Amino acid sequence: MRVLVCVKRVPQTGGRIVLTGDGQEIDTKFLGFTISPHEECGVEEAVRIIEAGGGESTVLTLGSAAAEEQLRDAMALGIDRAVLLETDGSEWDPVSTAAAIADTIRAQEAAGGPFDLVIFGNESADSGGFQVGIRVAVALGRPVVSGLKGLTIGSGSVTARREAAGGGWETYELPLPAIVGVKEGINLPRYPSVPGRLRARKKEVERVPVGAAGTGAAAASGAPMGPTKSMLRLPQEAESQVEILGRGAEAAPAVVDLLQKLGLVAR
Amino acid sequence: MSGPILVFVELGSGEAVGDGAGGADRVSLETLAFARSLAEGLGGAAVEALLFGAAAGVAGGLGAHGAATAHIVTDAAIAGAYAPAAWGAALAELAGSRGAAAVIGPGTDRGAEVLAHAAARLGMPLAANVIAATPGASWSVTRQRWAGSLLEDATLDAPIRLLTMAPHAVAVDERAGARPAAIAPLTPTIDAADLVVRVTGHEPPAKGSVSLTDAKVVVGGGRGVGSAAAFSELEELAGLLGGAVGVSRVVTSNGWRPHTEQVGQTGQRIAPDLYIACGISGAIQHIVGCKSAKRILAINTDAESPIMALADYAVLGDLHQVVPAISAEIRRRTG
Amino acid sequence: MASLPKRAKVVIVGAGIVGNSMAWHLAKLGWRDIVLLEKGTLPNPGGSTGHASNFIFLTDHNKEMAAFTIDSANQYRDLGVYHECGGIEVARTPERMEELKRRMASSKSWDIEGVRLLTPTEVKAMVPFINETIILGGFYTPGVGVVDSLQAGTLMRQMAQEMGALTIAAGVEVTGVDTENGRVTRVRTDHGDIDTEYVVIACGIWSPRIAAMAGASIPLTPAVHQMIDIGPVPMFANARTEVDYPIVRDMDTNMYERQHGNGFEVGSYAHRAILMDPDDIPSIEASALSPTMLPFTQEDFDPQLEDALELFPSIVGDEKVGVKLAINGLLSLTPDGNPIIGETPEVKNLWSVAAIWIKEAPGIAKCVAEWMTHGTPEIDPHGSDIARFYDHHKTWQHIRARTTEGFNKTYGIVHPMEQWESNRPIRRSPAAARHAELGAVAFEAAGWERPFWYGANESLLAEYGDRVMPRAAEWDARWWSPIINAEHLAMRDRAGLVDLSAFAIFDVTGPGALAALERLCVNKVDVRPGKTVYTPLLNPAGGILADLTIMRLAHDHFRVVTGGGMGMRDRKIFVDGLPADGSAQLFDLTSAMTTFGLWGPRARDILGAAADGSADISHAGFPFLTSKLVDIDGVRTLASRISYVGELGWEIYVPMEQGLRVWDALWAAGRPHGMVPVGIGTYAVTSRLEKGYRAHGAELELDFNLVEAGMARPSLKDADFVGRAAYEAQRAADPVAILCTLTVDDPTSSSGIKRYMLGREPILTPDGRSIIDAKGRRSYVTSAGSGPSVGKHLLMTYLPPEHAVVGTKLVVEYFGEHYPVTVAIAGATPLFDPDNARIRA
């Protein structure tokens, strides 16, 4: 089986996001970078699928040269090979990103055979577009489903499981090749081992230069792109005036008074 | 006169899980409220809803939420089970045939998925988790990033503007005495390939469990709870209040509780009447999931923890003493 | 948040392990209205305490740091937060094995019990997961332990609160520190202002920022220490406690490894020094983990992973064991590696307690609290005293250079004389060009380049043959040359010219000067103008603070001359002692005056030849311990007849810009008499030891008194002075230790190589037992060096009276072997020229 997992390098933010002076970016001076959380689970899922059934896993990202760090992180966890669609570091919109990834998948498949499964994270942590995987699937004409917290590989198909809106679960069957969007919770990702780290350090990363945002296949088609960022800003924090109901167990009557007042406990 | 604003309305929640069996989803109603205010900004454009498999009564009732027309797909092959590609294709087709100015969906799993399919098919951009929009030659939108820790002001330029609405960004706007929505049956042309992916099975929620997103009270637990076993104290309180247990990310990554209970950036966004945050320091990654709660009661040993800046009420102390004492007090008063 | 009090006795800034310890110790010493401010949240505010590895290795070659560490371990033990697990420093190289033997010796000197050397097999028995095939052995300390520093802090805060002494305010950021007339008056915060008498800066890497608010300087830099936590380790699945196995320090790779519950922690000091600007530390809110836990830089750590893998293959190499946490943790580094504690010289009542590790924090806090309360800390803090810094030390360039250089020496084998390489030269003598021509090998002191010996004197080696006591062992001969001993002999035979530019010199003047100096000095300063006084300074408890000379130049004009090393600290003592009414003033002439020493039997002839003849330099006309103006080649100098080498001669004080002219004149006058340039190796070591002269920081420290040091004079002056009462009590009692000079009887090691001790080694009974005096102090070598004129290697040590008897046979431990020594002098009598005839010639 051949599995491709697509990841995004995102800053590891702290308690409060700090923006650059021009409001265009997050100030990452003091921040580390990581693979977006849903995609970390995607990497783990890819590694597990190959561990269980054999084959080859590939990790792909679109980002600056620095994103090689996240590719190596993924390889440290057991991914076999890595592809970097190397940009100039500017932010790409979902339409352009999906087009570049779809092109790359075609090229990779032409060279190395089809990917049975392409895994995306449900949405990236930073831009939260909720669409790249679906756009790639539509472009490639493959079945896709998002929001997954369970995957079972069958012969020629995959059973997918996701939480239903009102509780419980719903399941889907997808013939392979297919594309899936996974969510945190599908698994508990492993930590990289030291030997894994050391191996990943020595592995090759295939680099495919894709240049600046707004270039490439999507731009050439003349289709509308976006949304186009004007600026970032922090939401206004709703500071509340906290009322201390008491200390320790002695506060219980005051708490229940409140619950009754709110109609949450019968009087 | 602008074309209508088309809203994908998601159905089905509450006790019955079968597609189309419940009423309109709360975030969909919020989306209609947003569409109504947007329509006013567009000089009185019509708001039209698209539903799959809804009873006529439910669809008509959307009139109170501002929908002039409710398009309903009833063909069981399409609407009988949720099929993201098919539903997206139907939405795209309807947007085209109605000359829609905008297509909006709720920022739920399904809403996001259906809108993404529609956008991909229409070859147009999609702005996800919007909280405000200003129509114009180029639309200005404000959308959430980092699950709401950060806002982006952006422009959206396309013949049809596709958006999803961030949950709980606007209130439901139900107006009594409004005209019911006109029912317009829809029979879209769906390619068989788009019906390949569809819900083929359901597992009902555990008996008596309360959905985190629907619960009026959520008892939240964080690192301060300390162990998997200690969650029984929170479960007991949640049970007495008819509520649900929610947790922060550290709890699920420690394996203390299932991920389905996680509230926050990579978990659920909840909007209960009361959120009881026990041993939760209040990292932004958690706060974005619970800040829509009407009220927050924090139980924490540390008066300086960030949750205090957000809480309406607080009890200072060890949750392992405070939470059982509250449960005991409730039992005492309710006999 | 508790509301802030409007006023306080003392405001402590920072509630890490240091601030919490300060609050507790001040409360215990009776302080009340203590306010502890913390910007972050409790109990883990986000400073270096929060990510510390929390283990304590007890042994340090540095006496002061060892004392702080031992005291801290005892305090943690009393708090019930010390988990003793033992620790092993392992050696991968023969050099390291030798170093471990030296650590054995230092452990004996500083009273660290149960230490022993282990074979690789013995290491394996204690740490079954180690790859013992790549190590040569280990140094085991049973008392090594791990502490819960956050819990310790919480307990200390609680105890202070229970005493009603402490108000704690977290989430409060200090925005300013106000001063009036050079004294702290107020702390400004984002929650309101607090009027206060004292401010204690205990906020680690942020300390420079707070100090700067008051106009003071704390020269430290935040720097990165990398560590990773891996796990879960299958063999630790049933770990009973936080640490079941001894902590391992892999000294040769600058790393440590320890079990940590079911995990394994690997820390490193091997990577490049990664420094940060203190103003660049992120805020608490903007930090992903905490302001002091920065994103891990993997590429810096990769080589260390290989080292850890080699030593612990079964754990680190386990594919199932994952890297759970990897951080670049910030800690504080200082230019000389020591903490920065004490009252800032710039602002009264503003105290620094910074650049402190978990292992020494409670001990240092106790010391500072005692110092603040009575001025009498039990452990001598002079090596950590904030007042030690000269201005150049406080520059960013110097801090960066020295911390970068020092970082990788954290676990290094550092020779006691090891020299810094970076940011030199800083201060240069006016005769520096001549030093260079003479092939001077310069060591740095207080930023000055001081010739330690001169290559040009190599020709003397043939003249003196084996009398120069050549050293065959590389360690003994490192940072040393037999030329030092040749210079020594040539000076004693003829004459030597010594550059003493590193002296710190202050003039104290004004009608109040005499009274102020009398108050500070043990010996009478009220001498006739022209006389020179040698005097110790004491603290109120009678501990020895300093020793220095004061020349009375006129009725109300005194010149204080002290060593460069503690020059700025000594200056603070004098400045603090000036009268409040301004009737005396201190002028620092350190950079205005240079000093040359001219000593030896021919010194008078040479000075006579160099001077213009107008000054009488005969013994009668220019007696010992007097000074007068002597004009040399048209330069008016101040000559002071004094000696630290035991020879006839003078210190000659010269305006800095005319120094070269005077050097050249003395040089020209001296050559016909066989004068040689003489380095500090002779001045500060060999000639001093032969004469039994005591040195501050070696023999003279707070924990010794003048009676023990043999420096008590027969009579006491009338005037009161600091420490008088304690000194009188010391004089009335029999001393429990006496400073002695020992000769090494036979320096031949078991391998037949002659070995020469360098100082700080334990002195033991012939059967190898430690010698402990009635105050519990162990006997160790305070100073060591050659005695070329007496033909012996010399050691100084304090001995209990029963051992302090001339002729007593003892041993000294050096690199694991015992060498026989004999008490040659008990007390202050010089070994060489006991009657001081040469000085008074």
pLDDT in tens, C480-524: 999 999 999 999 999 999 999 999 999 999 999 999 999 999 999
Residue C813 in contact with residue C760, Cβ under 8 Å? Answer: no
Provide the 8-state DSSP code for C515. H
The shortest C-alpha distance from C240 to chain B (Å) reads 18
- Tallying the residues shown for chain C, one arrives at 841
pLDDT of residue A220: 63
Q: Do residues C811 and C768 touch, judged by C-beta distance below 8 A?
A: yes
| C837 three-state secondary structure | coil
> Which of B124, B128, B322 is nearest residue A248 as measured by Cβ atoms?
B322
Q: Do C319 and A196 touch (CB under 8 A)?
A: yes
ipTM rounded to 2 decimals = 0.94
Q: How many CB atoms lie within 10 A of CB A114?
A: 14
Cα separation, A69 vs C641, whole angstroms: 70
pLDDT in tens, chain B (335 residues): 689 999 999 986 533 223 334 577 889 999 999 999 999 888 889 999 999 987 778 888 999 999 999 999 999 999 999 999 999 999 999 999 999 999 999 999 999 999 999 999 999 999 999 999 999 889 999 999 999 999 999 999 999 999 999 999 999 999 988 899 999 999 999 999 999 999 999 998 887 778 888 889 999 999 889 899 999 999 999 999 999 999 999 899 888 999 999 999 888 889 999 999 999 988 888 988 998 899 999 999 887 788 888 899 999 999 999 999 999 999 999 87
Residue type, B46: A
What the block records as the tokens of C599 is: 């000593």
For testing the chain B interface, which of A12, A126, A247 should be mutated: the one with the most B CBs within 10 Å? A247
- Residues C608 and C597: their CA atoms lie apart, in Å, by 15
**C33 Rama class: left (phi>0) / alpha (psi -120 to 50) / beta:** left
- Give me C631's structure tokens: 């004009």
The set of residues, in sequence order, having a beta carbon less than 8 Å from that of B332 and lying 6+ positions away, is: none
Chain B partners within 8 Å of C41 (Cβ): 281, 302, 304-306
Name the token pair of C579.
């009268």
Classify each residue of C768-793 as buried b or exposed e, where b means 16 or more C-beta atoms within 10 Å of its C-beta.
Answer: eebbebeeebbbbbbbbbbbbbbebb
Which residues in chain A are contacts of C286 at CB distance < 8 A? Answer: 14-18, 27, 30
Residue ranges of the alpha helices (H) in C250-389?
298-311, 313-316, 361-374
Question: Which 8-state DSSP code applies to residue C273?
Answer: P
DSSP output for C668-737: HHHGGGT-EE--HIIIIIIHHHHHT---BTTTB-TTS-TTTTT---SS--SS--TTHHHHHHHHHSPPS-
Tokens found for residue C54 = 């929390």
- Please list, residue by residue across C565-577, b when 16 or more beta carbons sit within 10 angstroms of its beta carbon and e when fewer do: bbbbbbbbbbeeb
The answer, for A28 touching chain C at a CB cutoff of 8 Å, is: no
Look up residue C478 and give its amino acid: R
**Identity of the residue in A128, A149, A239 whose CB atom sits nearest the CB atom of B147:** A128
Distance (Å) from the C-alpha of residue C325 to the closest C-alpha of chain A? 9
Tokens at residue C734, please?
A: 């029999």
Distance, in Å, from the CA atom of B8 to the CA atom of A233, rounded to the nearest integer, reads 29
Q: Which of A194, A237, A241, A244 would you mutate first to test chain C, the one with the most C CBs within 10 A?
A: A194
Contacts of A197 in chain C (CB under 8 A): 298, 302, 305, 323
| Identity of the residue in A171, A174, A255 whose CB atom sits nearest the CB atom of B326 | A255
Tell me which residues of C are annotated as active site.
225, 256, 547
Phi, psi angle pair for B69, to nearest 5°: -130, 145
Q: Which of B141, B214, B291 lies closest to A166 in CB terms? A: B214
Give the nearest partner residue to A193 out of C286, C288, C318, using CB atoms.
C318
In degrees rounded to 5, what are phi and psi of residue C114? 75, 5
CA–CA distance, B334 with A264 (Å, rounded to integer): 12
Lowest mean pLDDT among C41-50, C324-333, C528-537: C41-50
CA distance B125 to chain A (A): 5
Q: Token pair of A47, please?
A: 């590694």
Q: How far does C15 lie from chain B, in Å, by closest CA?
A: 14
- CA dist., res. C624 & res. C640, Å (int): 8
Tokens of C100: 């471990």
Give pLDDT tens digits for C702-738.
999 999 999 999 999 999 999 999 999 999 999 999 9
- Do C457 and C487 form a contact (C-beta atoms < 8 A)? yes
Closest CA to B234 of B169, B326, B153: B326
Q: Please check whether residue A226 is in contact with residue A131, taking contact to mean a CB–CB distance below 8 angstroms.
A: no
| Minimum Cα–Cα distance from A13: chain C residue | C288
B/e letters for B200-217, b = 16+ CB within 10 Å, e = fewer, are: eeeeebeeeebbbbbbbb
Q: Can you tell me the mean pLDDT for A205-226?
A: 76
Chain B contact set for A129 (CB, 8 A): 126, 128
Residue of chain C minimizing CA distance to A69: C298
Q: Tell me: pLDDT of C122 over 80.
A: yes
Q: How many CB pairs under 8 A join B and C?
A: 12
CA-nearest of C333, C341, C345, C348 to C399 is C333
Contacts of C52 by beta carbon, 8 Å cutoff, 6+ apart: C17, C149, C329, C357, C358
Per CB-CB distance under 8 Å, the chain A contacts of C302 are 197-198, 201
Picking from C499, C729, B12, the residue whose alpha carbon sits closest to that of residue A170 is B12
CB of C284 within 8 Å of any CB in chain B? Answer: no
The one-character DSSP state at B155 is E
Residue C644: is its pLDDT beyond 50?
yes
Q: What is the mean pLDDT of residues A219-242?
A: 82
C288–A13 CB contact, under 8 Å: yes
User: Minimal Cα distance from B303: which residue of C?
Assistant: C1
Contact B124 A223 (CB under 8 A): yes
Site of tokens 């006790």: B15
Judge residue C178's burial from the number of C-beta atoms within 10 Å of its C-beta, 0-12 exposed, 13-18 middle, 19 or more buried. Answer: middle
- For residue C320, the distance in angstroms to the closest alpha carbon of chain A comes to 6
Q: How far is the alpha carbon of A52 from chain B, nearest alpha carbon, in Å?
A: 23
Whether the CB of C170 is below 8 Å from some CB of chain B: the reply is yes
What is the distance, to the nearest Å, from the Cα of residue C35 to the centroid of all Cα atoms in its chain?
31
Q: A146 CA to chain B: closest CA distance, Å?
A: 7
Query: Contact C295/A191, CB-based, under 8 Å?
Result: no
Q: Are B29 and B125 in contact (CB under 8 A)?
A: no
Q: Under an 8 A CB cutoff, do A239 and B156 touch?
A: no
CA angle A45, A47, A48 (to 5 degrees): 65
Give the start-end residues of each E strand in C800-841.
Answer: 809-814, 817-826
Contact C295 A29 (CB under 8 A): no
Of C442, C431, C451, nearest to C658 by C-alpha is C431
Q: How far apart are CA B188 and CA B205, in angstroms?
A: 32
Residues 51-80 of A with CB under 8 A from C: 69
Q: What is the per-residue pLDDT for B12?
A: 66
In sequence order, which residues have a C-beta less than 8 Å from that of residue C244 and are 6 or more positions away? C85, C236, C259
CB-CB under 8 Å, B302 with C171: no
Confidence of residue A216 (pLDDT cuts 50, 70, 90): low
How much is the pLDDT for A236? 85
Task: Rank B213-222, B250-259, C36-45, C336-345 by mean pLDDT and report only the highest.
Answer: C336-345
- The per-residue pLDDT for range C392-438, each reduced to its tens digit, is 999 999 999 999 999 988 889 999 999 999 999 999 999 999 999 99
Paired residues of C248 in beta bridges: C88, C257
Which of C284, C306, C324 is the closest to A198 by Cβ?
C306
**Distance in angstroms (rounded) separating the CA atoms of residues C544 and B150:** 62
pLDDT by residue (tens digit) across C750-802?
999 999 999 999 999 999 999 999 999 999 999 999 999 999 999 999 999 99
* Spatial separation of the C-alpha atoms in residues C336 and C728, rounded to whole Å: 37
CB C544 within 8 A of CB C702: yes
Task: For residue C440, give the H/E element and its range.
Answer: strand C440-445
Cβ atoms C349, C199 nearer than 8 A: yes
* Lowest-pLDDT range of A3-7, A96-100, B16-20, B62-66: B16-20
Cis peptide preceding A227, ω within 30 of 0: yes
Torsion of CA A186, A188, A194, A199, to 10 degrees: 0
A168 and chain C in contact, CB less than 8 A: no
| Confidence at residue B15, expressed as pLDDT on a 0 to 100 scale | 31
Q: From the list C288, C305, C320, which residue is nearest A198 (CB)?
A: C305
Average pLDDT, integer, range C580-601: 97
Mutate to test the interface with A, among C266, C300, C305, C310 (most CBs of A within 10 A): C305
Which residue of chain C is at minimal alpha-carbon distance from B304? Answer: C41
pLDDT value at residue A213? 66
Q: Which of B146, B281, B287, B304 to mutate to test the interface with C (most CBs of C within 10 A)?
A: B304
Beta strands in C173-275 (DSSP E): 174-180, 183-189, 192-201, 221-231, 247-250, 255-260, 263-268
Give B321's contacts in chain A (Cβ within 8 Å). 248-249
A15 and B209 within 8 Å at the Cβ level: the answer is no
- DSSP output for C36-51: EEESS-SS--SSHHHH
- What pLDDT score was predicted for residue B14? 37
Quote the CA–CA distance of C792 and A166 in Å, as a whole number.
92
Show Cβ contacts of residue A154 under 8 Å, excluding neighbours closer than 6 positions.
Answer: none
Cβ(C143)–Cβ(C114) under 8 Å? yes
**B305:C41 CB<8 A:** yes
First to last CA, chain B: 63
Query: For residues A218 and B87, which has the higher predicted lDDT (pLDDT)?
Result: B87
d(CA C213, CA C339): 20
Say yes or no to pLDDT of A240 above 90: no
Q: Please provide the average confidence, as pLDDT, over all residues in chain C.
A: 96
Which whole number is the average pLDDT over C202-229?
96
Instruction: State the average pLDDT over residues C27-54.
Output: 92
Distance CA A123, CA B266 (A): 9
